[in-house]
Amino acid sequence: MTLDSAAMIESFINSGAAAAGPGEDALTTPLQAIEEAAFHRLYEQLAPALRAYVLRICEKADLADDVVQDAFVKYLRTPIREMDETAAKAYLYRIATNLVNDHWRRRERERKWSWKAIFRKPAEAKLDLRGDMARQFGRLAPRERALLWLAYVEGFDHEEIARVLKVRPKSIRVMLFRARKKLRKLLDSEGTDMQ
């Protein structure tokens, strides 16, 4: 699957057009309020980075693809709000983060209440990620990975990270400090020099 395929964008457009229910005003979704070209531009600009973020958090390519698609569909179904590109980006990242969290909660519920869980073989080995940093990054908690990725890869400021993760902006500084400290400790325990 390619993120910039015409078929993917067409499916988003069809999902957005079908989002308005019976009796709803025709201009209730962002897609109907903005030009199709503007949506194409937004998708082309944000989808690759959003997919990289989700992939780094969930570590599964198929799940990342599903989450990115679902995030854009949810964006299209959102009632109109005045959003510039930065606000739309933060909103899409928040949707994607929530979708990943929902997936993990659902998976945990299913695992916990499944009879098969009693007789299941030990969990399969995780995908072998190259490099000490990637391996240790994967050992962080999902929220810590999200914090570090949004701050240092995507370049979000504390306000934007707070909106995405639904925490107070003043908490971000401390949370980032703790996540960096934990990553440093993991790297030090492996003898990796991060300097």
CA 189 to chain centre: 29
What are the angstrom distances between the C-alpha of 53 and each of 21, 50, 56?
32, 5, 5
Higher pLDDT, 6 or 93: 93
Higher pLDDT, 123 or 80: 80
Spatial separation of the C-alpha atoms in residues 79 and 36, rounded to whole Å: 17
Spatial separation of the C-alpha atoms in residues 105 and 86, rounded to whole Å: 29
The domain 128-195 having CATH identifier 3.40.50.1820: the answer here is no
Domain ranges within the chain, ordered by starting residue: 1-126, 128-195
pLDDT at 57 over 70: yes
Question: Which pLDDT score, from 0 to 100, does residue 184 have?
Answer: 85
Question: Which pLDDT score, from 0 to 100, does residue 64 have?
Answer: 93
Stated pTM of the model: 0.54
DSSP conformation class of 192: -
pLDDT in tens, 21-55: 444 444 445 545 556 777 788 899 999 999 999 99
